[in-house]
């Protein structure tokens, strides 16, 4: 009789743990919201979030207006054709160094492999941002897969 009570208590405890884990999973799955574009770190975060949400208009608006900037359709197709797929990676923002009208944001691109016993791979990189005439931070470069290698390249003579 005592073993039956112990077994029931154990089963109820396991069920409560499963319910709590599922509850936490669904509560944390909420969609992320954009933050203000007031710092270089926030601009990089909002750009990556816009790509994750497939909001190409928002992401494109955060690019620097300079020679070599891809037009919107080329930018959008770069991600839609999976030339780069930022949906399978994460971007970790480490910090920023601001010098005048330029900022360098240290980032790490985190590639996750499938499987329960496989660690993720972190690739360090940096984002370059410039402040435009209106005082807004704009992205001049980012690591792959958030950026096309041929964007902002000088024209060949």
- Report pLDDT digits (tens) over 103-139: 999 999 988 766 666 667 888 999 999 999 899 999 9
For position 118, what pLDDT does the model report? Answer: 67
pLDDT, tens digit (0-9, with 9 covering 90-100), for 1-56? 566 888 888 888 898 898 888 777 766 655 678 888 899 999 999 999 999 889 99
The phi and psi torsions of 144 (rounded to 5 degrees) equal: -65, 140
Report whether 49 contacts 34 (CB < 8 A).
Answer: yes
CATH of domain 35-141: 3.10.450.50
pTM: 0.76
- Reduced to 3 states (helix: H, G, I; strand: E, B; else coil), residue 57 is helix
Residue 83 confidence class, pLDDT cut points 50, 70, 90 = confident
Report whether 9 contacts 108 (CB < 8 A).
Answer: no
Identify which of 70, 57, 73, 62 has the alpha carbon closest to the alpha carbon of residue 128.
62
């Amino acid at each position: 009789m005592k073993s039956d009570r112990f077994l029931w208590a154990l089963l109820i405890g396991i069920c409560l743990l499963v319910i709590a884990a599922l509850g936490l999973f669904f509560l944390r799955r909420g969609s992320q919201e954009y933050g203000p574009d007031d710092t270089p770190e926030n601009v990089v975060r909002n750009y990556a979030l816009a790509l994750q949400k497939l909001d190409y208009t928002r992401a494109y608006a955060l690019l620097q207006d300079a020679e070599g900037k891809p037009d919107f359709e080329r930018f959008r197709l770069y991600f839609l054709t999976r030339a780069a797929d930022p949906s399978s990676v994460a971007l970790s923002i480490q910090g920023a160094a601001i010098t005048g009208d330029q900022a360098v944001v240290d980032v790490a691109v985190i590639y996750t492999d499938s499987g329960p016993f496989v660690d993720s791979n972190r690739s360090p990189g940096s984002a370059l941002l410039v402040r435009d005439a209106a005082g807004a931070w704009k992205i001049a470069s980012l690591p792959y897969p958030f950026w096309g290698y041929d964007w902002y390249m000088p024209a060949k003579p």
